[in-house]
Chains A and B, each alone.
Chain A
């Protein structure tokens, strides 16, 4: 009798253990799928998602769409900062946060469109300090009406990290061999898993107009980054009128199905928005209007 009871307990325990593993894996997979469909989510819906920047496996800060349900700006900031915590995502996606657990957020406030975040002193011990700063700044600047981000440690303002804007650049790359014609442009690629947009701020020597450089650069993929713009793409002409940039391309912009994918249009439009003070991009192919993309939609 004892043997039968023992077998019964053993079997029950094993079944319980297997059920627990299945449940954990299933939940993780569901969460993974939610993030994995990020680009599709952005492309096919008009839902009001929030944008945050997380680290991918190659060390790039990538732009991620998330739903952060909150009613007040204060609550939204709290949720964003919480979302950027180191251990928040590691079990569910290839992406990870970067605010370490030992770093406490003492308080934060919004003053004149400037979010001021007060960290505990451990913040200054983080060797990845610059990447953390960039990720937080870019994530918080996605909030409507926010123009600057400032950092304090134990109530002391950090002079070098005050009033930061997107001027600081993200995933910065410096390809300069002299001081002539230095240009700063922002290029949007797709990450190596084909799920997220990745902005790269590039400093280079080039005498051409920035939009010409952007299109040329985006024809090439980079290590661990993808661009879907065909090599046959030519920017025939362009003009700027009242905050609108008109880009007229040849047929090279079309894919093999004679269509232009959202990813191609978005990578160009997002690059323009972050490089110029432009709110609208109108795409044309051989002078025929194809699509208009506005800044607030990205």
Chain B
């Protein structure tokens, strides 16, 4: 058996003349947490829907757990998914909604209570879904995705509507699932969260993959930079000019100067600034985080 949970080859989806997903290629190894990121409309949900057999690709192919996506019945019993937020019957209780899905999938009904406990809904399982808060709905969606005790868990924005404590709980839950061997493929706009838990990353832009691979590889490709603040804010522009004259890329952002360059160059910059009569109050060498990298690769403005 392949050691890949997801293998996507040249996958495309066209709606009329618009290409929602264009010749996408990426692989997700078994047992990893893979972040799936991209701006709104980049094709993330369309890709996930194709992987789950909900929509047909117009080109290319993909395999889930070694089975082709043209035969979803061969792999979906081992896949849990929450796509585009939770969707349940408002007039049924949370527990009854899970029982509908458990009955449908042939899973033990006892699992419903275990999962409600696991996602922190044990005391509200009997309440109607329509009375749930957004965070509770999200938790129920995650519980539904966990029903089959999945080998592959596909989650689309699982932390939407959750408070910081809830986000942390979900992060811990995903980590513990991955530790037990579950592959987690998770799309989210909370890039800082993905950075904390993901080992792999797939980044989409306008339907095309701009990066796919280990997240460390992505950071290794990025340039370190420095954040500089000065006593007089007007001096920031002069700092940018000094850095650019020395052959470094530099620009102003959020009331500070961002200058590409290794940490070792910080001393030189400080001296150059001092010689020009500029007093630097903050000089922090940094590596770009996922958010910085995302904006750079997707071309989106922060």
Is B a genuine binding partner of A? Answer: no
A positions within 8 Å CB-CB of B: none
B positions within 8 Å CB-CB of A: none
